[in-house]
Amino acid sequence: MAHTAELSARLARFRRVLELSRVLNLTLDLPALLDLIVKAAREITTTEASSILLTDPKTGELYFEAATGTKSEEVKRVVVPPQSLAGWVAREGKVEVIDDVSRDPRFSRVADEQSGFRTRALIAVPLQLKGRTLGVLEVVNREDDTPFNQEDVDVLRSLAAQAAVAIANARLFQQSDLISEMVHELRTPLTSIVAYSELLTRTDIKPDQQRAFVETVLQEATRLTAMINDFLDLARLQSGRARMAYEPVDICALLRDCISVMMPQVHQKNISLHFEMPADMPLVHGDRGRLKQVLMNLLGNAVKYTGSNGHVHTAVLPANTSVQVSVQDTGRGIPERDLPHIFEKFYRVQDSEGWATGTGLGLSIVKEIVEAHGGQIDVESRVGAGTTFTLKLPTVRPS
């Protein structure tokens, strides 16, 4: 009789996993999906807490992305060491059950320290799909404090298999969403090219009109090419396929090179450009070509959005274990409502005077490159007073 009751309970747990898998596969919003997974893992294993660690495709680092509990936000983005227990599970692709974490030297208490939680025992299961490990699913401390058993492992492994598929689908949906945005943005220049090309086939247009139409077609075709190139660049960066060739970089010398390239435009607009670069600055570890791309974008924007007789100021300063670079202009400034969105894909500040040109991807690419270097970028702006972009780049090589 007891055996029948145990079998019924076991079947009920796996039936619940199947029910949960249907819900997971219908959820395409990644943060909401991860929240569902950790709650489901905690439920089916009757544990005190659960968490998901994901592998960063750009850096390879393993970090907490979702967790249950009142202090789950404190745990998010906490990176765990490669030699940690979770790092071992992700690297080896094997399940690990620990009844007393204090006896396992691989266990890292970095998340406990951040959240105030105390881990006593855990199961860690790799999130795998087609031989690739996306991350690790963990459950912590049975509610009745009894040891974990094989059924707990089996049911969690089953959920992890479903979760890996759902996570991959959600990521693909995000990529398809990016493609949809791209297609939408391509329509404008394509529509212009088609319209003006049709006008050029007419026999009643004057030579000066014909010349203007040809110039418009060329301008829109050039913009279309730039947009496609930027989109492919951003897609590579976001997917982690754009590899960084790290080396020691003299950021001051690199900034001087960028300023030198911008000088013809500076003189053309009668802008004054000053730079502040102290001697003996530490080297930045980074990809020289990518960092030049960042600096050229920021300098280009500063010059473009600064009117005649305006001023652009750049500075490089040491900041603990990083180098701080700022690009400040006296241009039109960015309205406060637009500042939170300035690094978003295809976002352009509403403009009725023709200043907002370009693909709308430049600053998104800049942010991706800076973060791939383990740095950060911030913006401050006031309408009528100008804009300052500040980026910090570490002087130690990122993982």
> Could you tell me the strand order of the sheet in which 386-394 lies?
272-276, 311-319, 322-329, 386-394, 376-382
pLDDT for position 355: 44
Q: Among 141-150, 177-186, 249-258, 337-346, where is mean pLDDT lowest?
A: 177-186
pLDDT for position 311: 94
More confident residue, 228 or 387: 387
Mean pLDDT of the chain: 83
Q: CA 80, CA 136: separation in Å to the nearest integer?
A: 11
Q: CA 369, CA 294: separation in Å to the nearest integer?
A: 7
Structure tokens at 330: 């006296």
Mean pLDDT throughout 53-81?
77
Q: Do domains 2-172 and 243-399 have the same CATH topology?
A: no
More confident residue, 2 or 109: 109
DSSP string of 113-126? HHH------EEEEE
Phi-psi region of 80 (alpha: psi -120 to 50; beta: other; left: phi over 0): beta
Structure tokens at 38: 């950790």
DSSP 95: -
pLDDT for position 396: 65
CATH for 243-399 (1.10.3720.10, 3.30.565.10, 3.30.300.180, 3.40.30.10): 3.30.565.10
Residue 251 has pLDDT above 70, yes or no: yes
High-pLDDT (> 90) share of the chain, % = 28
Residue 398 has pLDDT above 60, yes or no: no
Could you state, in order of their start, the residue ranges of all structural domains in the chain? 2-172, 243-399
pLDDT in tens, 273-288: 998 988 888 888 888 9
Q: CA 218, CA 212: separation in Å to the nearest integer?
A: 10
DSSP 377: E
Q: CA 373, CA 393: separation in Å to the nearest integer?
A: 7
Mean pLDDT throughout 58-81?
76
Sign of CA dihedral 325, 331, 337, 338: negative
More confident residue, 108 or 315: 315
Q: Among 139-143, 168-172, 297-301, where is mean pLDDT lowest?
A: 168-172
What band does 177 get if pLDDT is binned at 50, 70 and 90? low
Structure tokens at 259: 């300023």
Residue 205 has pLDDT above 90, yes or no: no
Total number of residues shown for the chain? 399
Tokens 């989109």 belong to residue: 231
Residue 35 has pLDDT above 60, yes or no: yes
pLDDT for position 279: 80
Residue 347 has pLDDT above 80, yes or no: no
More confident residue, 5 or 114: 114
How does strand 386-394 pair with strand 376-382?
Answer: antiparallel
Q: CA 47, CA 107: separation in Å to the nearest integer?
A: 18
Mean pLDDT throughout 223-250?
75
Cβ count within 10 A of residue 131: 6
Q: Which of 289, 186, 292, 174 is nearest to 235 (CA)?
A: 174
Check if the beta carbon of residue 373 is closer than 8 Å to that of residue 393: yes
DSSP SS3 for 260: helix
High-pLDDT (> 70) share of the chain, % = 87
What band does 357 get if pLDDT is binned at 50, 70 and 90? low
Q: Which of 134, 136, 155 is nearest to 47 (CA)?
A: 155
> What's the angle, vertex CA 140, arms to CA 77 and CA 69, rounded to 5?
55
The whole model's pTM is what?
A: 0.53
pLDDT for position 82: 85
What band does 19 get if pLDDT is binned at 50, 70 and 90? confident
Tokens 């747990």 belong to residue: 13
Residue 296 has pLDDT above 90, yes or no: yes
What band does 32 get if pLDDT is binned at 50, 70 and 90? confident
DSSP 99: S
Residue 67 has pLDDT above 60, yes or no: yes
pLDDT in tens, 182-194: 676 777 788 888 8
Mean pLDDT throughout 191-198?
84
Residue 139 has pLDDT above 90, yes or no: yes
| Domain 2-172 part of CATH 3.90.1640.10 | no
pLDDT for position 388: 94
Q: Which of 199, 195, 221, 198 is nearest to 209 (CA)?
A: 199
Residue 79 has pLDDT above 70, yes or no: yes
